[in-house]
Chain A
Amino acid sequence: MNGSRLVRWTLRYIALAYLFALLLLPLGVIFDEAFKEGIGEVFSAITAPDAVAALKLTLLTVIIAVPLNTVFGVLTALVMVRSNLPGKRFLNALIDVPFAVSPIVVGLALVLVYGQNGWLGEAFMEAGIKIIFSTPGIVLAVIFVSMPFVAREVIPVLQEIGDDQEKAAETLGANGWTTFWRITLPAIRWGISYGIVLTTARALGEFGAVTVVSGRVSGETETLPLYVQKQFETFNSVGSYSASLLLAVIALVTLLALNLMRRKEN
C-alpha cells in the first residue's frame, strides 16, 4: 500500500504547510517581534500609562458585558427550548444576527441610535449621559458582538437533556427557582462555561465596532485592540507588538481553557 501512504503524507503536509503559513508563523512572529528589544522593553511597554488605561477599559467592558450576556444568554436559551412563544422562529434567527453583521455596521447602527442626532441620543444627552465616544457606547458595542455565544452553547445542551428531570422536580413540589438551581443549571454548566470563555475572548478583542463608537482618545476611550493600532500607526512598534503579545497570550489561554473543559466534560 505504498501509493496510499504517499497520498496520505502528501495530504498531511499540504494541510500542515497551510496551517503553518497562515496561523503558526504569524503567531510566532508576534512573540519574536515583541521580545526583539528584550523582556524589559516588553514590560515597560505594557506598563506605559496609556497601555494600562487601555487594559483597564478593556477589562471594565468585559466585566459589564460578559455577565449580562451570560444571564440573558441562559434566559434566551431557556425560553427558546422550554416554552412555546409565538414568533419563536423569528427570535431564534435573531439570536444569530450579531454573528452575521459586520462590526463596522454594528458601530454605525449604535451611532444612529445613541449618537448626537440619534433616535435616543438626545434624550440621553439631556439626562447627562454620553454614550457614543464614551465608555457606555464601547460596552454596548461589545455586548452586541459577543451576544450569541452563551445561548448558542446552551441551547443544544438543553435540547439534549430534555425536561424529564425538571418535570419530576416540579411534581415533587420544587418551585421554578429550585428546579433551575438544582436540576437545570448543573446540567448546562459546561455549555455556559464554553459560552463565557468565547464571549470573553470576543469581548476582549473586538475592534471594528468599538473603533466606530469610541472617540479613540488615548488613556480615555481606547481599548487594548485600539491601542495596538494607534501604537503601530505612530511607529511605536514595541508598544504595538507588546500589547498584541498580551492579547495573543489571552487568546492562547482561551484555547487551553476550552480544551481542558472539553476533556473534563467527557
Chain B
Amino acid sequence: MAAGTPTVPSSNRPRASVRLPWAGQALNKGLVVMWLGLMVMLPLTAITTKAFENGLDGFWTAVSSPQAVAALKLTVIASLIVVAINAVMGTLLAWVLVRDKFPGKGIINSVIDLPFALPTIVASLTLLTVYGNKSPIGINIAFTQTAVVVALSFVTLPFVVRAVQPLLLTLDRDMESAAESLGAGRWRIFRQIILPNLAPGIATGVALAFARAIGEFGSLVLVSGNVPFKTEVSSVFIRGQIESDNLVGASAVSVVLLAVSLALLAVVTFIQRWAVRHER
C-alpha cells in the first residue's frame, strides 16, 4: 500500500456519484473465482478424485508399482542433480552478468530467457542433434540418464539466474570493500558476505527449478528414449499409463507430482516473505 493512502476504510468514504461500485467489485470477484475455479480447481479436483477411486489401497498399489517407483526415483534424483547444477551455474552466470564487463554481455543477458521462450519439443530435437549419435562435436549421450539431466538443465536454466540477478544488483558493495580493507580474502568475502545475501534468491530459483524439473515432459520426449526402469521419468510414465487406459494409475502418480510441486510453491512463498521481512 502506498504511504499516502487514507486510513479510512474505502466503504465508509463518501461516494462521488450515484452508482453501485460494490456491485461492480463483487462481479469482478465472482468472475475471477469462477475462472480460477473452472479452469484450475475443477481439473485438479477431478484428477485427485480419480487417483483415490479405488480407495487408499488402490492409490498405494498404483504408486508403489516397480515401474512407477523407478520413474519417481529417476525424476527426483535427476531433478536434485539439476538444481545443484543450477545453484552453482545460475549464481555464476548471474555474477558474470552483473559484475563482469565484456563485449556482447547484453545479448548474452537476453539469451538467458531462451529456454522459457523456446518450445520444449524444439529443445528436445536440438539437444538430440547436438548430443545424439550424429553429434557434430562427437558427444553421444542420447537415451541415457545423462541426457535427462542435460535436458532438464536446459529448461530450468533461467530460474536461478533471474532470481539472483536483482539481489546482486542491489547488493551494497561497501560491505565488500570494508571486508577487503579489513584483510578478508576473496573467497572469504564471497562466503561470508555475498553468499548469505544471495541465499534467498538461490533458494527461490532452486525451488522453482525443481518444481519445473519434476513435471517436465516435452524436452525429454526425443532425447531420453523413454526406456522404462532406465530413462523413463514420471511424466513419461503417466503418459504411458494414459495410453494404456490406466487412468487411475496415471492419476495416482500425478497426485504425487502435484503434491511435491504445491509444497515447493509454498516454500517459495515462505522464502519470499522471509526475505521481505529481513530486508529491513
Contact = CB atoms under 8 A, between A and B. Distances in A.
**A and B: bona fide binding partners:** yes
Given A26-B123, A94-B36, A118-B46, A112 B247 contact: yes
Given A101-B261, A255-B113, A247 B36 contact: no
A202 B119 CA distance: 7
A93 B21 contact: no
A99 B211 CA distance: 8
Nearest to B44: A109
Given A83-B28, A104-B235, A247-B119, A147 B40 contact: yes
Interface in B233-253: 234-236, 238-239, 242, 247, 250-251
A19 B35 CA distance: 39
A136 interface: no
A76 B238 contact: no
Contacts of A7: 186
Interface residues of A, number: 93
A72 B269 CA distance: 23
A4 B186 contact: yes
Interface of B is mostly: helix
Interface string B35-52: 110011111101101100
A264 interface: no
A106 interface: yes
A96 B265 CA distance: 8
Interface stretch (A48-56, A162-170, A184-192): A162-170
A204 interface: yes
Given A22-B157, A29-B126, A163 B2 contact: yes
Contacts of B215: 100-105
Interface of A is mostly: helix
Contact of A75 (B2, B28, B120): B28
B32 A91 contact: yes
B108 interface: yes
Contacts, number: 263
B157 A78 contact: no
Contact of B221 (A201, A207, A247): A207
B47 A25 contact: no
Interface in B65-120: 89, 92-93, 95-96, 100, 102, 108, 110-120
B209 to A, nearest CB: 12
A133 interface: no
Contact of B36 (A33, A95, A229): A95
A70 to B, nearest CB: 12
B240 to A, nearest CB: 10
A106 B216 CA distance: 12
A98 interface: yes
Contacts of A103: 215, 217-218, 235
B111 A24 contact: yes
Interface string B148-160: 0010011001000
Interface string A1-37: 0001001100110111011001111110110010000
B92 A207 contact: no
A55 to B, nearest CB: 13
A208 interface: yes
A241 B110 CA distance: 24
Nearest to A81: B1
Nearest to A246: B122
B254 A100 contact: no
Contacts of A94: 36, 40-41
Q: Ordered nearest first, which 9 A-B pairs have the shortest CB separation?
A: A102-B215, A162-B2, A205-B119, A109-B43, A208-B217, A207-B218, A100-B261, A251-B117, A26-B126
Given A79-B29, A163-B2, 7 more contacts: A7-B186, A26-B130, A102-B235, A103-B218, A113-B42, A147-B39, A225-B122
12 contacts: A8-B100, A11-B95, A15-B95, A16-B108, A97-B265, A100-B211, A102-B254, A105-B254, A108-B251, A172-B16, A206-B119, A208-B120
